[in-house]
């Protein structure tokens, strides 16, 4: 009778050892999978969605060179055949560099033409400094369900003072030339093909035209949808919380209406280069201008073709191991 439990034990051990022999893979089930919370990569493919920022920063010691362009109105009174559907004009151009200090923290510097819209914004020749820090990174095992990145910029207008008391370029002192943006980018990669970002934004402009707002809040939403292996559809939309009082004033004074910027585009990636081909009603490229004062609308032909080309240069010399 004493043999009975032993026999059971024997069968048990035997089956275990057999299992171990036939399937060596079982040996590593645990140690390999117990590996920590790996962060999700490529929620977006570049630091910028279209008009808005993405949660992505540069890799450590990578340098990004970027050129962004927005043409003139495709249709409406400023578009059509006479401007070759806006291609003769440029509403805004940006040339800049981004550099990764660490895998979480990057800096950028650049210049844009600036897109004055006459009534509300007259500032041009903008120089910007920007920084982005990854506070949280979504992890593959969902222990952190979303990514949070902080973004901030400081913009200075280098233009000659415009001697026009009603404009925001009638600079009295240097600080009048400055504006800044503070933004939180909350992003989630839902699966391989679909990512979404929410961008609560605060825009501070030190000097604005009469009845315009020094402090303005906005909320952006952006998304990415993969169509093929290399091509994604990207879109973003910004709500700007301008006071009714201010809207009414500009409408009554100069028939000036504010719209929310919407951008839709195709993004192509070819290892190191990212090219995006977009359409948007926003004339300006910097948040400091397009959130407060987008004044053209899709419905009246006030949208334009735009593109951005970026190239990443790897400056680090770390070895493969």
Binding site for another protein (CB under 8 A): 2-3, 6-7, 9-10, 13-14, 16-17, 20-22, 24-32, 34-35, 38, 40-42, 59-60, 62, 103, 140, 192, 229-230, 269-272, 312, 314, 316, 318-321
Instruction: Kindly tell me which of 41 and 253 has the beta carbon lying closer to another protein.
Output: 41
Our CB check for another protein shows the closer of 8 and 95 to be: 8
- CA 109 vs CA 46, 154, 228, 273, 290: distances in Å: 16, 10, 32, 19, 19
Question: What number of other Cβ atoms are within 10 A of residue 55's Cβ?
Answer: 31
**Minimal CA–CA distance to 58: which of 104, 109, 111?**
104
Residue 127 or 275: the one with the smaller Cβ distance to another protein is: 275
For another protein, the closer of residues 8 and 164 by Cβ is 8
User: What Cα–Cα distance (Å) separates residue 289 from each residue in 13, 84, 237, 321?
Assistant: 73, 26, 14, 45
* Residue 39 or 152 with smaller CB distance to another protein: 39
Q: Which residues pair with 156 in a beta bridge?
A: 127, 178
Residue 77 or 319: the one with the smaller Cβ distance to another protein is 319
Closest CA to 55 of 236, 230, 212: 236
188 CB-near residues (< 8 Å, 6+ apart): 43, 138, 145, 146, 147, 195, 196, 197
Alpha-carbon span 235 to 264, nearest angstrom: 4
For the chain, count helices (H), then strands (E). Answer: 4, 12
Q: How far is the CB of 43 from another protein (least distance, A)?
A: 11
Of 62 and 267, CB closest to another protein: 62
For the chain, the farthest-separated pair of C-alpha atoms sits apart, in whole angstroms, at 108
Shortest spacing between CB 273 and another protein, in angstroms: 9
Q: How far is the CB of 293 from another protein (least distance, A)?
A: 36
Q: How far is the CB of 313 from another protein (least distance, A)?
A: 10
CB 147 within 8 A of CB 188: yes
CB 151, min distance to another protein, A: 21
Question: What is the sign, positive or negative, of the torsion defined by CA atoms of 160, 290, 52, 91?
Answer: negative
Q: How many residues does the chain have?
A: 321
- Rounded to a whole number of angstroms, the minimum distance from the CB of residue 24 to another protein is 4
Q: Which is nearer to another protein, 12 or 84 (CB)?
A: 12
- DSSP character at residue 3: H
Closest distance to another protein from the beta carbon of 203 (Å) = 32
Distance of CA 118 to the CA centre of its chain: 27
Nearest Cα residue to 112 out of 151, 157, 71: 157
Shortest distance, position 143 Cβ to another protein, whole Å = 13
């Amino acid at each position: 009778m004493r043999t009975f439990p032993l026999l059971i034990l024997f069968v048990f051990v035997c089956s275990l050892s057999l299992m171990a022999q036939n399937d060596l893979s079982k040996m590593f089930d645990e140690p390999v999978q117990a590996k920590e919370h790996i962060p999700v990569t490529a929620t977006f493919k570049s630091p910028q969605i279209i008009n808005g920022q993405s949660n992505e920063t540069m890799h450590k010691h990578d340098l990004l060179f970027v050129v962004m362009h927005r043409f003139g109105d495709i249709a409406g009174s400023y578009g059509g055949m006479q401007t070759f559907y806006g291609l003769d004009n440029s509403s805004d151009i940006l040339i800049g560099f981004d550099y990764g200090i660490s895998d979480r923290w990057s800096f950028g510097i650049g210049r844009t033409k600036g897109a004055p819209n006459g009534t509300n914004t007259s500032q041009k020749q903008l120089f910007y400094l920007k920084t982005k820090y990854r506070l949280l990174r979504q992890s593959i095992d969902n222990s952190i369900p979303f990514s949070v990145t902080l973004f901030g910029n400081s913009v200075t207008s280098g233009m000659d003072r415009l001697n026009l008391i009603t404009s925001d370029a009638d600079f009295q002192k240097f600080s009048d030339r400055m504006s800044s943006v503070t933004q939180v980018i909350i992003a989630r990669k839902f699966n391989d093909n679909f990512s979404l970002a929410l961008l609560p934004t605060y825009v501070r402009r030190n000097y604005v035209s009469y009845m315009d707002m020094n402090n303005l809040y906005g909320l952006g939403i952006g998304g990415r949808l993969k169509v093929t292996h290399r091509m994604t559809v990207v879109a973003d939309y910004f709500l700007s919380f301008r006071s009714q009082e201010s809207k009414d004033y500009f409408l009554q004074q100069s028939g000036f209406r504010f719209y929310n910027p919407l951008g839709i585009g195709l993004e192509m990636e070819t290892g190191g280069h990212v090219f995006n081909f977009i359409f948007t009603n926003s004339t300006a490229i910097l948040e400091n201008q397009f959130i407060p004062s987008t004044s053209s609308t899709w419905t009246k032909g006030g949208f334009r073709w735009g593109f951005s080309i970026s190239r990443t240069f790897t400056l680090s010399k770390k070895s493969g191991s």
